[in-house]
Structure 1
């Protein structure tokens, strides 16, 4: 369908608005924004009508910042809690500021507890109180309880809407209960079986209930082995349990073992994506790394790591200054020094990225640290030997100085070996000290590889007699 046809007010099927990668087509986004600019809200609503809530959230994010509020005003009836839940945090925060507490409460009231909490937790304290006052008492109590748990824990992630039944019920009792009570959640994959103290003692897939005779007791069809999530467990650890045990949903229990909620795999998918992206961004010192983040916040997040790198670079500069006389005697040293440092830095980054990921996924633990270090030493020796041979032969031929080839080959081998060790030891040491290895590892590993690269190359040049000591 052409852009002209879109402007005539005919709503296109949702699939025609998406490209092969399920992203909104640029011409479709322009058509919607043009309708908003012309004040034709009816056409804008018709164009947006076929979209999934996640695609509506993408549409708002793709709009320029100054056009987002007019767009939301034009398609207001399509903006519901599901759209807000799918929206980028920075964009959502800006739009929420324009909503009245009563409007926000109406949107949050239509969501599961976990999604409502994700929206309300980012508000300042005064706005939170105003929205909570506007909620129904039951919703308010559930959200207040969730907000009482630390951020990024199972208590914040879980939803309270679940199905729990006593073990003495039959399958028929459960089916009648599900059909008779309209207040029950409609989105669930398993039924939790609890004892009189509301402690989970088993779980039963919905498919088992549907395929079992009505007279069978739940205690006879339920699985007593289940994965329970403590309410204060970190969300990253929750995601690892879902991945390890291939869970679709899991019960969340409080300190006394009582069932207080459940976590579903759709929530965990978001967590896995967030945590993976967060570690990658922390390694680069890019802060949140969100293109919707305010410029001043991006500046503050990035500049402190650049300042830290400035001071670590001074260490390498001091080593170069100490060998200033040697460099003056042979210009080739100045030409080749950046190669030694660069290759060492890349080797260290590779190992560090693997180590940080292994720590985050519990693949690297105290029980296999030594084995991992030995493995990285072997990999470093193989890589170092390969690069050293190539660069050594090349330097000897280009500068017609065989000794220079041997010196740079040895320096490369030493620096890559040190880089491999630093890439593992620095993240492990930070993790043992209770620090996030993704945050500061890159600064220390870069300092080690740069300094050792210059020291090994220039030191070997002096020791070998290639140049005289200054």
Structure 2
């Protein structure tokens, strides 16, 4: 893609499209991205009918255009971008999947990327530029205006997935000596202010936030009232180095719409708004679910090589734990050979234990992620899960034990498998909570590796308890 493929002026025009028009376009969303529509776009691209592609895509909302890039084949994405050049505005780039956006940015000249970044909110611009290689980042930053470049370079200096990367530097802050009338006049007269904000931050002479004023309070207060009389002094401040997951928890806990971000000296440096946090909550929740299965990012647009590498790593670990479990079975080869029915029934005990352990693990990982499980209530949580495991184990034990005794006419075999079911459920409950808690205390993400160890514990103990009890009881 050459510099001529993207027009600076057209990108600016797309960024300034009226919001009302965008909202009306979104009404066609459900009809526009159905398989038949996507196929027609692909057929037109393959036939080189760029005008037809343009006409089909033009009515779409920017978010729907971004979705369209994900729905078509990878080798069709660059031709689509060329075909709808003037529709590739900043709003589309802000909505693109990370892997798709990275593919497109590799082909776009640095000057065009700089133009797009300058029109985005700081946090969206950072999210776009941080995906580039270091050399490409430098090239893009060199094309930007000094003020915009300084803001993005400052954000990139913070660690990934922290408030410093997430925050926007577009906020409104005024001194506390102002009156309501002064503030209203200031908001009306200053054309450089952010166009979207819900509250005004009040700062002292050192630029430390001392309170906030919601726009509704400002509009309903007399002009002569000092801001110090109407502002809310109690506020939730976000340290610039705070992990984004903790930021999301604070927004959820305190029902925040926006929050001030402060640096190490307590100075106001940015704000985080709830729309950004919604994305973080979705990302973190999806990340934990996928990590529990060892599936990595789980993004269908991720390159196959990276997906294979991530999944294969944990599959190899699982192979090792499976060998450990099979070695336990090997200890009882003689018993199994003497009473072959054991080989038929033993997978039931280990399988049910694995399912029970996964249930406990999912609850505990979520509780750790949302700060519901802390040092103060860990023992209570362990007791709770053990009681649940005992109740489930007894119920399943009676069910499988009675069924086995009736089906095979062997009450002793029923008692053995029922007892093993109780034991393995207790092991599952204990492992399901102790493993993630121990990993969390060791500063290891429990969502990444807990499932491997919990599964190994339930497999090993499932086989050992069932086969061991069978030998001790004289069945084999």
Fold shared by both chains (TM-score > 0.5): yes
Aligned with 2:203 (options 194, 198, 201): 194
Deviations 1:288-309 (A, max 9, x none): 1111111111110011111111
Aligned with 1:31 (options 30, 40, 50): 40
Distance in 2 separating the partners of 1:230 and 1:166: 21
Q: Which moved more, 1:384-393 or 1:26-35?
A: 26-35
Distance in 2 separating the partners of 1:14 and 1:298: 33
State whether residues 173 and 202 of structure 2, in contact with CA within 8 Å, keep that contact through their aligned partners in structure 1: yes
State whether residues 192 and 204 of structure 1, in contact with CA within 8 Å, keep that contact through their aligned partners in structure 2: yes
Deviations 1:15-55 (A, max 9, x none): 23415xxx821222223333333433333223222322211
State whether residues 332 and 399 of structure 1, in contact with CA within 8 Å, keep that contact through their aligned partners in structure 2: no
How far residue 133 of structure 1 moved from its aligned partner, in angstroms, is 0.4
Structure 2 equivalent of residue 385 of structure 1: 394
1:276 corresponds to 2:279 = no
Distance in 2 separating the partners of 1:413 and 1:54: 52
Distance in 2 separating the partners of 1:191 and 1:333: 71
Within 5 A, what are the aligned runs for 1:363-382? 363-382=372-391
Equivalent position SS for 1:165: strand
Distance in 2 separating the partners of 1:234 and 1:140: 24
Deviations 1:359-402 (A, max 9, x none): 00000000000000000001101111111111001111111110
1:297 corresponds to 2:306 = yes
State whether residues 357 and 429 of structure 2, in contact with CA within 8 Å, keep that contact through their aligned partners in structure 1: yes
Within 5 A, what are the aligned runs for 1:243-322? 243-322=252-331
1:205 corresponds to 2:214 = yes
1:110 corresponds to 2:80 = no
1:94 corresponds to 2:103 = yes
1:130 corresponds to 2:139 = yes
1:46 corresponds to 2:55 = yes
1:416 corresponds to 2:394 = no
User: Closer, same or farther in 2 for the Cα pair 1:109/1:144, shift >3 Å?
Assistant: same
Structure 2 equivalent of residue 353 of structure 1: 362
How far residue 78 of structure 1 moved from its aligned partner, in angstroms, is 1.1
Equivalent position SS for 1:386: helix
State whether residues 28 and 60 of structure 2, in contact with CA within 8 Å, keep that contact through their aligned partners in structure 1: no
Deviations 1:414-434 (A, max 9, x none): 001100000000000000111
Figure out how many residues of one structure are paired with residues of the other and give that number. 453
Equivalent position SS for 1:202: strand
Runs of 4+ in structure 1 displaced over 4 angstroms?
none
Structure 1 residue runs without a partner (length 5+): 1-11
- Please, what TM-score do these two structures have when normalized by structure 1? 0.95
Structure 1 equivalent of residue 229 of structure 2: 220
Within 5 A, what are the aligned runs for 1:143-158? 143-158=152-167
How far residue 250 of structure 1 moved from its aligned partner, in angstroms, is 0.2
Equivalent position SS for 1:159: coil
Distance in 1 separating the partners of 2:25 and 2:369: 42
Structure 2 equivalent of residue 81 of structure 1: 90
How far residue 14 of structure 1 moved from its aligned partner, in angstroms, is 4.1
Structure 2 equivalent of residue 177 of structure 1: 186
Equivalent position SS for 2:174: strand
Structure 1 equivalent of residue 8 of structure 2: none
State whether residues 415 and 456 of structure 1, in contact with CA within 8 Å, keep that contact through their aligned partners in structure 2: yes
Distance in 2 separating the partners of 1:252 and 1:274: 21
Deviations 1:272-299 (A, max 9, x none): 0000011111110011111111111111
1:16 corresponds to 2:28 = yes
Equivalent position SS for 1:368: helix
Distance in 1 separating the partners of 2:404 and 2:59: 64
State whether residues 25 and 61 of structure 2, in contact with CA within 8 Å, keep that contact through their aligned partners in structure 1: no
Structure 2 residue runs without a partner (length 5+): 1-23
1:61 corresponds to 2:70 = yes
Distance in 2 separating the partners of 1:17 and 1:175: 39
State whether residues 154 and 232 of structure 1, in contact with CA within 8 Å, keep that contact through their aligned partners in structure 2: yes
State whether residues 162 and 262 of structure 1, in contact with CA within 8 Å, keep that contact through their aligned partners in structure 2: yes
How far residue 13 of structure 1 moved from its aligned partner, in angstroms, is 5.4
Distance in 1 separating the partners of 2:108 and 2:25: 30
Distance in 2 separating the partners of 1:199 and 1:220: 18
Structure 2 equivalent of residue 333 of structure 1: 342
Distance in 2 separating the partners of 1:43 and 1:13: 18
State whether residues 202 and 222 of structure 1, in contact with CA within 8 Å, keep that contact through their aligned partners in structure 2: yes
Distance in 1 separating the partners of 2:305 and 2:52: 37
Distance in 1 separating the partners of 2:166 and 2:317: 35
Equivalent position SS for 1:414: helix
Equivalent position SS for 1:201: strand
Distance in 2 separating the partners of 1:14 and 1:188: 23
State whether residues 190 and 205 of structure 1, in contact with CA within 8 Å, keep that contact through their aligned partners in structure 2: yes
